[in-house]
A and B are shown apart, each in its own frame.
Chain A
Amino acid sequence: MTDLTLLTIAEASSLIAQKKLSPVELTEACIAKTEALDATLLTYVTFTPEAALDAAKQAETEIMAGGSRGPLHGIPIGLKDIYDTAGLRTTGHSRLMLDRVPEEDATTVTKLREGGAVFTGKLGTWEFAIGGPSFDLFHPPARNPWNTECQTGGSSSGSGSAVAAGMVLGAMGSDTGGSIRSPAALCGIAGIKPTYGLLSRKGVLPLSQSLDHAGPMAWTSKDCALMLQVLAGHDPGDPASADVAIPDFSALMGKPLKGLRIGIVRHFYETDNVATDDVKAAIEASLVAFKEMGCTIKDVTLAPLQEFAAVNTTIMSAEAYSIHEPYLTTTPELYGEICRDRIMLGALIRGSDYVNAQKRRRELSIEVATAMADVDVLITAASPFPAQKIDAVPKWMMYDRPSITCPFNVTGLPAHAVCVGYNAGGMPLSIQIVGKPFQDATVLAVGDAYEAATAWRSRRPGIALDWQAKAAAA
């Protein structure tokens, strides 16, 4: 029997368009899988199967009447619980906002809804997209479907886990220092932090407005492109929204990569934040695959990761504290310990240091743009290590190991995490593909070509495969 939950968005969308797949059947399959697995994976803080089925039935009616809204019509999608949803609580995975019910959808939620997406509920996150994995919140942290003793990466933790397990076909994440790419990497899925300004952040609970990015997470690069097509667009309600023409994000897919110029940023993972041997070997193997596709590869040296991390952490901490100060000074007990302490440290950043960080940010952005002048994309590690045990994630790791993803929050460049294999323990390993401003279609096409040339997308976590038999036995 075909497991519908293992379809990609592209596959399901094609079948739905041909009227060979019912959105209701697809949604029912995702609901059944969630009911079978979520006691273990803990991905949802608010699961809404009834509303999902209603939306799926509406989609089916519209499609049968010839009214397709596009590639996401009838596709089950999960939302990180920082995306406002009208009439449905948006908690930030925090007791502070446990009963907060927004009156309006986030702009991106509206776009997905208009595109016919079937929302399945609100997925867990590190508290307010910074505090986790935490065990003192109202809902425990999501588990990694490749090994449920391991963390998912964060902060879009439920999104990474749910997509990898096939509980949804796509999900929304957000990324301030790596919060889409880290869980994408550790859960073995695809996830793009788009160019800053490409996606509206209106209605998304902020962590650090000048670094926050909304973005999609899915099993493949192609699926990310399909989601981005629906999501992108100027929003006057977001002061950072860019008024740029929206390209066809799938247009470059299927075309040969021959002649593509890749810059490999080795020092990020060889000296600045030393990766494990399995990560380094997987990156080298991916470069061989790109060479075989006709790409040229040259080493590119940027400023040390520590420079980017200093900028990212200073800005993020100060901006996060400015957002949370009214609550941290009055009801700190409503926060989990990790979130509370990480954000409180931002109170100690001096104004001049915040401005210095913004000045250094400008310098680094220019330096990276200059370094990319004669390459089309950069490649580096998406995570220096595979997923660790969930109870062994250091609370202050951001100060001890400079983030390998944050340079592209600092610079605002599109950065896409793509799975490049698995280690001996079966845990996913990933790279980042980074493009120039608003060349999101290029990084997605590079990811798509790599996925097509390798077999990694044919492997799913065991828990995502044997769930039907276990559910039947139960």
Chain B
Amino acid sequence: MSDEAVSQEAFRTLVARAGLKLTPTQYTELGGVFPKLEAMAARLRKPRPVSAEPAAVFSPKV
């Protein structure tokens, strides 16, 4: 499957899992934006040590 097809498959799955009731217009529009949201998420998926902590905004020590 192409990346586009994978993304749309993921979109359909996530919409169903979230229980979103979308109008046909919304379905088309959000489906078109979803790959951009996915690209942002992909940017955040990086190898990190298991000890990596989520943010506390300010690090107590730099």
Contact = CB atoms under 8 A, between A and B. Distances in A.
A309 B30 CA distance: 19
Contact of B33 (A345, A347, A349, A361): A345
Interface string B24-62: 001001100110110011011110100011111111001
A154 B37 CA distance: 21
B23 to A, nearest CB: 9
A307 B43 contact: yes
B57 A412 contact: yes
For chain B, the bracket of interface size reads 20 to 34
Nearest to B41: A353
Interface in A360-391: 360-362, 365-366, 369-370, 373
A345 B62 contact: no
A317 B37 contact: yes
Contacts of B57: 196-197, 210, 361, 365, 411-412
B58 A306 contact: no
Contact of B40 (A197, A310, A355, A358): A310
Q: Which one of A329, A362, A412 has the highest number of Cβ atoms from chain B below 10 Å of its Cβ?
A: A362
Contacts of B53: 359, 362
Contact of B54 (A317, A358, A411): A358
Contact of B41 (A356, A411, A437): A356
A437 B58 contact: yes
A200 interface: no
Contact of B18 (A347, A353, A365): A347
Contacts of A317: 37
A329 B19 CA distance: 8
Given A329-B21, A348-B18, A355 B45 contact: no
Given A365-B59, A369-B59, A347 B14 contact: yes
Contacts of A355: 54
Contacts of A356: 41, 44-46
Interface string A432-471: 0000010000000000000000000000000000000000
Q: Which one of A311, A344, A437 has the highest number of Cβ atoms from chain B below 10 Å of its Cβ?
A: A344
A310 B43 contact: yes
A123 to B, nearest CB: 28
A96 B36 CA distance: 29
Contacts of B56: 362
Q: Which one of B41, B46, B53 has the highest number of Cβ atoms from chain A below 10 Å of its Cβ?
A: B41
A316 to B, nearest CB: 11
For chain A, the bracket of interface size reads 35 or more
B54 A359 contact: yes
Contact of B45 (A313, A348, A349, A353): A353
A359 B41 contact: no
Interface in A310-341: 310-311, 313-314, 317, 329, 332, 341
B43 A366 contact: no
Contact of A353 (B19, B44, B55): B44
Given A306-B43, A329-B21, A356-B44, A362 B59 contact: yes
Given A306-B43, A349-B41, A365 B58 contact: yes
A313 B44 CA distance: 11
Interface string A289-319: 0000000000000000011011101100100
Contact of A313 (B18, B37, B55): B37
A361 B55 contact: yes
Contacts of B41: 310, 314, 349-350, 353, 356-357
Interface string B8-22: 000100110011111
A358 B44 CA distance: 9
Q: Which one of B18, B20, B43, B55 has the highest number of Cβ atoms from chain A below 10 Å of its Cβ?
A: B55
A260 to B, nearest CB: 21
Given A306-B43, A344-B20, A348-B37, A359 B55 contact: yes
A359 to B, nearest CB: 5
A135 interface: no
Contacts of A370: 62
Given A310-B41, A360-B44, A361-B55, 6 more contacts: A332-B21, A345-B37, A362-B53, A362-B56, A365-B57, A412-B57
25 contacts: A197-B57, A306-B43, A309-B40, A310-B40, A313-B37, A314-B37, A329-B21, A341-B26, A348-B14, A348-B37, A349-B41, A353-B44, A353-B45, A356-B46, A358-B55, A359-B44, A359-B48, A360-B44, A360-B46, A362-B54, A365-B55, A366-B59, A370-B62, A399-B36, A399-B37
Interface of A: 196-197, 210, 306-307, 309-311, 313-314, 317, 329, 332, 341, 344-345, 347-350, 353, 355-362, 365-366, 369-370, 373, 396, 399-400, 411-412, 437
Q: Which 5 A-B pairs have the closest CB atoms?
A: A358-B54, A361-B55, A347-B18, A310-B40, A399-B36
